[in-house]
Structure 1
Amino acid sequence: MSDLIVIVYPNEAKAEEVRQRLIGLQKEYIIKLGDAVIATKTQAGAIKLNQLVNTTAAGAISGSFWGLLIGVLFLNPLIGLAVGATSGALGGALTDVGINDAFMRDLSASIQPGDAALFVLAHQMTADKVLKEIQAFGGVVLKTSLDETKEQVLRDALQRATATADQGAAPTT
């Protein structure tokens, strides 16, 4: 069973830093990511999704290859390449893998402009090791599919890190 975790950070750079750390943990086999998307809200209120995998580009590359191959068979590789790239890009754009885009846009509507929400779909994870690695980044839990006990442990750890960071930034007199 997969777990969904959504954490809000004060900016996109911080969310990207956490996502890169999670990708590093995946290389160490501590977590298996299904998807990791950063959603940001512009000052105008528009939601922008920064996907981990660009399905449009992947589709265009795949389509280009197959189009070129078919074009060579019919003695017109350039037309085959163009048609393959176009159809592959269209197919990739219509493909939604991982977390549902509409769900992410709806949930991200509640964040403040400039904030970033990191959506993580974890197929497997060693929760205590993942938490130890990301708690220093702080953040606020927006939503999870974890059971109540695990969710509270996550909230407490991130809250402690955020409180520690706020105390360190407070001027002393």
Structure 2
Amino acid sequence: MAALTVWKFPSSEQASQVEDTLLSLQKQGLLQVHDAAVVSWPSDRKQPKTRQLHNLAGAGALAGTFWGMLFGLIFFVPLLGAAIGAAAGALGGALTDVGIDDDFIRQVRSEVTPGSSALFLLTSEEVVDRIHQELPGGSAKLIHSNLSEDDETRLREVFQG
């Protein structure tokens, strides 16, 4: 079973500093990263910066379109050139079908604000308490949305390619 987790950090730089930690946790068998992305929102910017973490993603990584649409719906800013327009409604519906509902989007939108950052992970086999202990600064906050195996399969079908 896969899980989509969002870890919020109190500074705009901290989420970008976790790649080595996640690679270490993956080597220890504490989680399997299928895909990951970072949102950094400096307090002097109107919109956050986003990027996919390709070094962590497994062979089944989601297309940049997934992250682009998710971030577009949450922060009103696309990632990797994904356009928000007529497709947003259809993809928004697809996100709901895989367990990413309006409440999740509202919660992330309200908590990831200027001056903060977030790490978005699609993982399995995670040991959440151990991950939290290993993240830099010990100040990350978990926002968690579980995805069932069926939801993960539908998510990959919608956003692959």
Higher helix share: 1
Q: Pairwise mapping of residues 1-173 of structure 1 onto structure 2 (< 5 A)?
A: 1-42=1-42, 43-53=44-54, 96-97=63-64, 100-108=67-75, 110=109, 111-134=112-135, 137-141=138-142, 143-146=143-146
C-alpha deviations, 1:61-104, integer Å up to 9, x for none? xxxxxxxxxxxxxxxxxxxxxxxxxxxxxxxxxx8259532113
Question: Offset of 1:115 from its aligned partner?
Answer: 1.4
Q: Return closer, same or farther for 1:135/1:145 CA change in 2, 3 Å cut-off.
A: farther
Contact 2:5 2:145 in 1 (8 A): yes
Question: Offset of 1:39 from its aligned partner?
Answer: 0.7
Q: Which has the larger radius of gyration?
A: 1
Q: What percentage of aligned pairs have identical amino acids? A: 24
The whole-number CA distance in structure 1 between the counterparts of 2:128 and 2:65 is: 20
The whole-number CA distance in structure 1 between the counterparts of 2:127 and 2:66 is: 21
Which 5+ residue runs of structure 1 have no aligned equivalent? 55-94, 148-173
TM value normalised by structure 2: 0.53
Question: Offset of 1:132 from its aligned partner?
Answer: 3.3
Contact 2:52 2:64 in 1 (8 A): no
TM value normalised by structure 1: 0.49
Larger RCO: 1 or 2 (CA < 8 Å, sep 6+): 2
